[in-house]
Structure 1
Amino acid sequence: MLYIVIPVFNRLAYTRACLDALRRQTTQQFRTVVVDDGSTDGTAEVLAREYSEVIVVPGTGQLFWTAGVNAGLRRALAEGADRLMTMNNDVVAAPDFVARMLHWAERYPDALLGALELDVHSGQPVYGGEQFSWLTHRSEDLLSKLTPPQRRGLHPVTYLPGRGLLIPAQVVAAIGLFDEKRLPHYLADYDYTSVARRHGFPVYLNYDAHLLTYPEESGQEQTRRQRSLRGYYQHLFGIRGGGNLVNFTHFALKNCPPLLLPSFLLNGYVRRLGGYFLH
């Protein structure tokens, strides 16, 4: 059975939309686990009153993304899950999303799978996976590489985000859970899928499965909107900072080939120090 794990902190309207989309799935061969990390907007009451089918795991208010996901994954595994999925609450799954993920999961049972992301407002593709070069520190965006007729089926990628990430239980048995100690919020998903790929588990972007997302709602975008010294500090050192230098260093040390590490770190530091004001 597939278990979908959704960590939430407030933003009840997004959580409702996400759960309602899961209720509309063409297959209901899954269970949903919501990790409510101390929400103060009535999330716990609404879940208990309106979504009785959802397993709720309470948090302390200090879990952030990675520890929240891990808490949900532990509960799912205790329930007997053989497939796991991490999902953010600010996504809306297309009605056949789960069915199309399970279609390929059955054919590639040891693969980690992500989904094609579409802008919820325009319906246009916004994320279709990346193939990353440690040498040049550049990503090749598959959306720009693939023609529309090629945007179907599975395509190999270097890593995947945690929005709609399907993980076979045997991956967790082999490499454990997400690295909540060193990567408490950002990069934990890219790290996890990179580690899994190095352990021999294929990592694919499933172009047949679609998620509607809100690109403007990411923590990185909200931090950059401030354009202030405080925002710059949060960008570089805050737990939710997309350019967090400590998290980037941990990610690099864990995943970059040793011979390329010095140049990769230097390149990454320069990009993060200057990128806040350029984007």
Structure 2
Amino acid sequence: MLYIVIPVFNRQQFTRACLLSLRQQTRADFRVVVVDDGSTDGTPRMLAEEFPEVDVVTGDGNLFWTAGVNVGIRRALVLGATRIMTMNNDVLALPDFVAQMLRWADRHPRAILGALELDAASGQPVYGGERLDWRTNTRQDLLTALPPTEHHGLHAVTYLPGRGLLIPLEVIEEIGLFDEKRLPHYLADFDYTSVARRHGFPVFCNYDARLSTYPDESGQEQTRRKHSLRGYFQHLFGIRGGGNLRNFTHFTIKNCPRPFLPYFLLNGYARRLVGYFLH
């Protein structure tokens, strides 16, 4: 049984829309676990009244993304999950999303699968996975690298985000849960899928499974928009900072091949220090 784990904190309107999109799936053989980490905007009441079929786990407001996901995964495993999918609440699953994920998961039972992401406003693809060259710290964007005729099926990638990330039980049994101690919010998903790939599990972006997303609503995009000293500090050191130097260091040391480690670290630090002001 597939269990979809969604960590939430406020943003009730996104959670409602996400859960409604899951109700409209062409396949219904899945369950949903929402980890509500102390929402104060009416989310608990909304979940209880409008979505009684959802299993809700309550946090104390200090879980952040990674610990929230881990709490939800533990709950799903107790309930008998054989497949886990992590999902953010600010996505909309197209009606055949679950069907397309399970179709490919049945063909590749050891693979971790991500989804093609569309801009909710325009419907245009915005993320289709990437391949990282550790030697140069450069990324190949598959959306632009692949001709449109190949925008279907599975494509191997270096890592995947946690928005619509399908994880077989075998992966969890071998490498455990997400690294909530060292990567409490950002990069935990990229780290997890990188570690899984190094343990021999294929990592694919599934272009047949589509999610609508809101690119401008991510925490790191909102931090970058401020362009202030406070925003710069949050970008580099805040727990929700997309350029968090500590998180980047942990991710790199865990995953970068040793011969390329010094250059990758120095190049990554430089990009984070100046990149905030280039967006």
TM-score by length of 2: 1.00
Aligned mates of 2:183, 2:116 — CA distance in 1: 25
Aligned mates of 2:190, 2:121 — CA distance in 1: 26
Q: Secondary structure at the match of 2:272?
A: helix
Write the deviation string for residues 225-276 of structure 1: whole angstroms up to 9, x where unpaired: 1100000000000000000000000000100011111111000000000000
TM-score by length of 1: 1.00
Q: Quick one: which amino acid aligns to residue 26 of structure 1?
A: T
Match of 1:66 in 2: 66
Match of 1:119 in 2: 119
Q: Quick one: which amino acid aligns to residue 226 of structure 1?
A: K
Superposed counterparts of 1:92-103, under 5 Å: 92-103=92-103
Per the TM alignment, residue 93 of structure 1 is displaced from its structure 2 partner at its CA by 0.3
Is 2:166 the counterpart of 1:158? no
Match of 1:32 in 2: 32
Write the deviation string for residues 82-134 of structure 1: whole angstroms up to 9, x where unpaired: 00000000000000000000000000000000000000000000000001000
Per the TM alignment, residue 74 of structure 1 is displaced from its structure 2 partner at its CA by 0.3
Aligned mates of 2:273, 2:166 — CA distance in 1: 33
Superposed counterparts of 1:84-233, under 5 Å: 84-233=84-233
Per the TM alignment, residue 148 of structure 1 is displaced from its structure 2 partner at its CA by 1.2
Q: How many percent of aligned residue pairs carry the same amino acid?
A: 73
Q: Quick one: which amino acid aligns to residue 87 of structure 2?
A: M
Q: Secondary structure at the match of 2:16?
A: helix
Per the TM alignment, residue 220 of structure 1 is displaced from its structure 2 partner at its CA by 0.9
| Structure 2, unpaired ranges of 5+ | none
Per the TM alignment, residue 173 of structure 1 is displaced from its structure 2 partner at its CA by 0.1
Aligned mates of 1:101, 1:48 — CA distance in 2: 28
Write the deviation string for residues 44-84 of structure 1: whole angstroms up to 9, x where unpaired: 01101110000000001000000000000000011110000
Q: Quick one: which amino acid aligns to residue 11 of structure 1?
A: R
Aligned mates of 1:168, 1:73 — CA distance in 2: 12
Q: Secondary structure at the match of 1:208?
A: strand
Q: Quick one: which amino acid aligns to residue 25 of structure 1?
A: Q
Aligned mates of 2:219, 2:138 — CA distance in 1: 22
CA RMSD, Structure 1 to Structure 2 (Å): 0.4
Per the TM alignment, residue 205 of structure 1 is displaced from its structure 2 partner at its CA by 0.3
Aligned mates of 1:146, 1:268 — CA distance in 2: 26
Is 2:257 the counterpart of 1:266? no
Q: Secondary structure at the match of 2:163?
A: coil
Q: Quick one: which amino acid aligns to residue 175 of structure 2?
A: I
The total of aligned residue pairs comes to 279
Is 2:16 the counterpart of 1:13? no
